[in-house]
Structure 1
Amino acid sequence: MLARRCALSAGKLIEEMLVHPLEVMYKTSSSDLVTSVDRAVEQMVIDEIFKVYPDHGILGEEGLVACEPSKFETVWMIDPIDGTTNFVHQRQNYCVSIAAYHRGVCEVGVVYDPTRQELFYAERGGGIFLNDAPLRVKRNKEMKEALISTSLFWNRRAMKNGLSEKAQRLAHRARGVRIYGVAALELAYVAAGRLDAYISPGLNAWDLGAGRLLVEESGCKISTIEGKELPFAERTSVLAANPNIYDFLLEFLTEYTV
């Protein structure tokens, strides 16, 4: 699978580049970072894809290729380093995310954590795998046992519409709440059963590009926070959860939300 090869090659390139000092730059703010590694990895993945599929579209976080997704039958979504802030500060808790969409449907999704050498991948209809071992999620999860990850707490929109407050109340209904700051990996963890839910008020297409298929193939549920189908190539809210607690979370998050 090309996506898997690209993800593993990206991991090797990251390791090689970390030998040298990081060049860190701001994009829109001091908390919106990009490094020379992000750009080098995205360019490498683009080059590998174009060698095989020169007529495909590519939508990458760093925008190294201009792409209007609606003009291509097949579009690749690339996040060269999801969790760049973690990457800069910790050198861990980040990942590479690569997905291939055909006519708006994700057919292949790969999320690779180079520091743990964990490769999560799925092809539509084929299940989800971690380093070639199939994964299955337990379906008898209860809210009191649930470990939830979310980015609702500091989001301005979530504060205005009450979702941030709901997240605080939700923490008392679950076993625990975590904040990792790396959406693609958090979605992979839901698919793997390491997390029971992930909630975000806003993700870009490349953030959830691969993770949504991992969640779907695991048997978990994923939608917008309002319960709608996730759009293609657009920024959106996300609720991904174990199927046994999804309905509760959906109702909890949407009740009385403005």
Structure 2
Amino acid sequence: MTDKTLQQIDKLICSWLKQIDNVIPQLIMEMTTETKRHRFDLVTNVDKQIQQQFQQFLATHFPEHQLLAEEKSNEMITNEINHLWIMDPIDGTANLVKQQEDYCIILAYFYEGKPMLSYVYDYPHKKLYKAIRGEGAFCNGIKMEEPPSLKLEDAIISFNAQVMNLDTVQDLFDASFSYRLVGACGLDSMRVAKGQFGAHINTNPKPWDIAAQFLFAELLNLKMTTLDGKAIDHLKG
């Protein structure tokens, strides 16, 4: 795949995101909410409509590309797919419902299993983080630099204490400078990418939670592993 091809795809994606800018306000005004596995696991018409519109976008521009996404069946997705997009139409749905802030769209394009394009769109604050293989990582067009390496004692760590072992939580409290949680994996991760957080810990990530982060981590010289230090499969999380 050539750099020119990536630039062409990126241009189309950025154009699609601008179109979504005009759609989201009306979707939020008409917002409906459902629960999935439990009362904290929410899905809205905003999630569903954004994902549906991206599926239509792919069908129009890249009919040979496949999509792995939160609000669809992904049984047919395998390692053999050459052109794969992974999407979370709304990362931080609970934040959208309860706060109307701190949520984002996550998009990532993999070619033959390799991350090529990544997007984290912080819609409420109009911040588009994107990473392009061969070019770098950017926030609203400004190139992002490798963040400084921090000692744990000087770092703010991002994690959800409610789903972690209490002893582990206490150890993290004691060892780190402090802890915060935005509540949207993409936004927590971008704070790591910018050097605001020292790390983000997700104990049960799904592919769409972390898809965009692979390329950002690679380009900004950050580490992305399982809790025991192993490589992460982008199709499994």
CA contact (8 A) 1:94 1:182 kept: yes
Aligned-pair distance for 1:139?
2.5
Contact kept in structure 2, 1:7 and 1:111, CA below 8 Å: no
1:137 pairs, out of 141, 146, 157, with 146
Q: Which amino acid aligns with 1:199?
A: I
| Structure 1, unaligned runs of 5 or more | 236-258
Give, as a single letter, the amino acid of the residue that structure 2 aligns with 1:29: H
Task: Indicate whether 1:222 and 2:237 are aligned.
Answer: no
- 1:9-48 superposed Cα distances (whole Å, 9 cap, x missing partner): 334322232233x210011110110001110000111111
- Residues in 1 aligned to 2:74 and 2:62: alpha-carbon distance in whole angstroms: 14
Aligned-partner Cα distance in 1 for 2:72–2:155: 37
Could you say what secondary structure the match of 1:167 adopts? helix
1:46 partner SS? helix
Q: Percent identity?
A: 27
Cα 1:13–1:211, aligned 2, differ >3 Å: closer, same or farther?
Answer: farther
Q: Distance in 1 between matches of 2:26 and 2:45?
A: 12
TM-score normalised by length of structure 2: 0.89
| Corresponding residue for residue 52 of structure 1 | 61
The offset of 1:66, in angstroms, is: 6.1
- Please show how residues 1-258 of structure 1 align to structure 2 within 5 Å: 1=10, 2-20=12-30, 22-63=31-72, 67-151=76-160, 153-155=161-163, 158-159=164-165, 164-235=166-237
Distance in 2 (CA, whole Å) between partners of 1:121 and 1:56 is 20
In structure 1, how many angstroms separate the alpha carbons of the residues matched to 2:128 and 2:46?
A: 20
Structure 2 vs 1, CA of residues 7 and 185 (structure 1 numbering), >3 Å: closer, same or farther?
farther
- Conserved in 2, the CA contact under 8 Å of 1:60 and 1:79? yes
CA distance in 1 between counterparts of 2:68 and 2:90 reads 14
SS in 2 for 1:51: helix
Measured in 1, the distance between the counterparts of 2:54 and 2:84 equals: 13
The TM-score normalised by the length of structure 1 is 0.82
CA RMSD, 1 decimal: 1.7
Q: Is the 8 A contact 2:147 2:220 kept in 1?
A: no
CA displacement 1:57-113 (0-9 Å, x = unmatched): 101110067642334211100100000001100000100001111121211100001
| Distance change (3 Å), C-alpha of 1:67 and 1:11 | farther
